[in-house]
Amino acid sequence: MDKLIVEGGHLLKGSVNISGSKNASLPILAAALLTDDPVRISRVPDVSDTNYMLQILSQLGASVERSSGTVRIDSPDGISSSASYEQVRKMRASICLLGPMMARMNRCTLPLPGGCVIGDRPVDLHVRAIQALGARVRVKGGNLVIEAPNGLVGATVDMRGDNGPTVLGTDNLMMAAVLARGTTVIESAAREPEVVDLANFLNKMGAHIEGAGSRTITIHGVERLHGCQHTVIPDRIEAGTFMVAGALISEGITINRVCQEHLTALADLLVECGHTVRFSEDGSSVFVAPGTSPKGGKITTSPYPGFPTDMQAQMTALFSVTPGISVVRDTIFPQRFMHCSELKRMGANIKMDNGTAIITGTDRLSGAPVMASDLRASAALVLAALAAEGTTEIHRLYHIDRGYEMLDDKLLGLGAYVRRVPDPKEPAAQAI
């Protein structure tokens, strides 16, 4: 295992290129199982989560080739309908195999994902969706055992849960429905850009999906899907993380290969807090610089196009050194505040109150040994460390490697003082 040593206080400058989206790639890679033709997917980030997904696909019998960001997947007849706990437990997002496995084989055995540090993360909506298409679901030996001996049949399904729509649940239902008999209507569908990217990919494979990106998605089932070529959208959370870095400690940085439309909520917030945010005319790059008199702000996370839960930890790091009082509330994962206790070890003034963090900005954080607890919490610690006085050691770096491609190299390119070194005392990577 590695740790990251960050010497804080150096102004970032220059430009950085954003990778393809991790959260778009994962369901798209799983969707390759929907055809026995080869598919080619470009700009798949080389992060451990996409690698776990590719390992699971290989284990199921698909052949996988990867070269410089492009993945070719070939899933001939005879792939297995049963995924192993050893593979699945490494990544909760492996639940998105449920839809394609059911569509392709009308049965699957998928280990139930376990607990997770960012919250309870149930799968009841995934189960409800596949049952609505006529499947029978049992839990046996820690596995979801799902069967639809007569095939899946289209239905109208409302995907809203207590905390809003579900992203991977919407993905699963869409993937299950593309080969089902008849029409499926998803009500209260997630509108995230990653759902739209998956729908675009499926349509390239010959699916008939309308309305992705809106609250209602309609899928007309087809007989078979075919191979295609697809390029994954830019990672809006990686882009957002660098935008926060630009507002936090830089002479101004340019972030390339972004999609402006996907960054509206964050860009608006940074501007409201007094920072400079300037998109290029075509919206594919953005310049961000700290404001001369920045002020705190208020965030309540909500489903897209609202403020993303995956960006609240990074904003908490920025608010920790922004004058005034800021308030961060996460309605999607109300327990996702593990980063706060580590930020406090660096001198941040944060009070927790029932799913809300109240942050009083301090002049300067100070470097400290800290522990990453999940992907976005780690990103928050890296940001805090860049701005802190002195040296910070971030342990359990494997959390960041799950979703940020070459983060240390990209930061070095922007002039940060960061160094990845082995951390032999750390335990092996844990699932999230």
**Full DSSP string of 26-37:** HHHHHHGGG-SS
Question: In terms of CB distance, is 192 or 393 closer to ligand EPU?
Answer: 192
With contacts defined by CB under 6 A, name the span among 82-90, 119-127, 137-145, 220-228 that binds ligand EPU. Answer: 119-127
Exactly one of 56, 133, 168, 346 binds ligand EPU (CB under 6 A); that residue is 168
**Binding residues among 87-116 for ligand EPU as defined by CB under 6 A:** 93
Q: Does 44 bind ligand EPU (CB under 6 A)?
A: no
In the region spanning residues 203 to 262, those forming contacts with ligand EPU, defined by CB under 6 A, are: none
Cis peptide before 305 (omega within 30 of 0): yes
Instruction: Report 389-428 residues binding ligand EPU (CB under 6 A).
Output: 403
Size of the site for ligand EPU (CB under 6 A): 28
Q: Which residue has the tokens 């006529």?
A: 134
* The only residue of 87, 143, 166, 320 in contact with ligand EPU, by rule CB under 6 A: 166
* DSSP code of residue 109: E
Residue 124 lies near ligand EPU (rule: CB under 6 A): yes
Amino acid present at 292: T
Looking at beta carbons only, is 184 or 188 nearer to ligand EPU? 188
Counting contacts by CB under 6 A, is residue 199 touching ligand EPU? Answer: no
**Distance between CA atoms of residues 24 and 3, nearest Å:** 27
Catalytic residue from among 96, 108, 116, 340: 116
Member of 10, 72, 89, 121 binding ligand EPU (CB under 6 A): 121
Among 61, 69, 122, 274, binds ligand EPU (CB under 6 A): 122
Nearest alpha carbon to residue 245 among 286, 193, 305? 286
Checking 346-349 for CB contacts under 8 A at 24+ apart, the result is 346/320, 346/370, 346/384, 346/385, 346/388, 346/392, 347/388, 348/317, 348/320, 348/384, 349/320
In the range 58-87, which residues lie near ligand EPU by CB under 6 A? none
Tokens of 170: 């919407």
**Least Å distance between CB 133 and ligand EPU?**
15
Q: Which is nearer to ligand EPU, 252 or 306 (CB)?
A: 306
Cα 389 to Cα 406: distance, rounded to the nearest angstrom: 24
Q: How far apart are the C-alpha atoms of 392 and 156, rounded to whole Å?
A: 51
| Smallest separation (angstroms) from ligand EPU to the CB of 119 | 6
Q: What six digits make up the tokens of 307? A: 């403020």
Q: Which is nearer to ligand EPU, 31 or 368 (CB)?
A: 31
Instruction: Give whichever of 129 and 365 is closer to ligand EPU, judged by the CB atom.
Output: 129
Residue 163 near ligand EPU by CB under 6 A: yes
Tell me whether residue 116 is one of the annotated catalytic residues: yes
Q: Indicate the burial class of 147 (C-beta count within 10 angstroms; 0-12, 13-18, 19 or more).
A: middle
Write the secondary structure of 213-256 as one string of H (helix), E (strand) and C (coil). Answer: CECCEEEECCCCCCCCEEECCECHHHHHHHHHHHHHCEEEEEEE
Q: Does 263 sit near ligand EPU (CB under 6 A)? A: no
What's the rounded Cα separation, in Å, for the pair 106 and 114? 24
Active site residues: 116
Binding-site ranges for ligand EPU (CB under 6 A): 23, 26, 93, 119-126, 161-164, 166-169, 190, 194, 309-310, 332-333, 375-376, 403
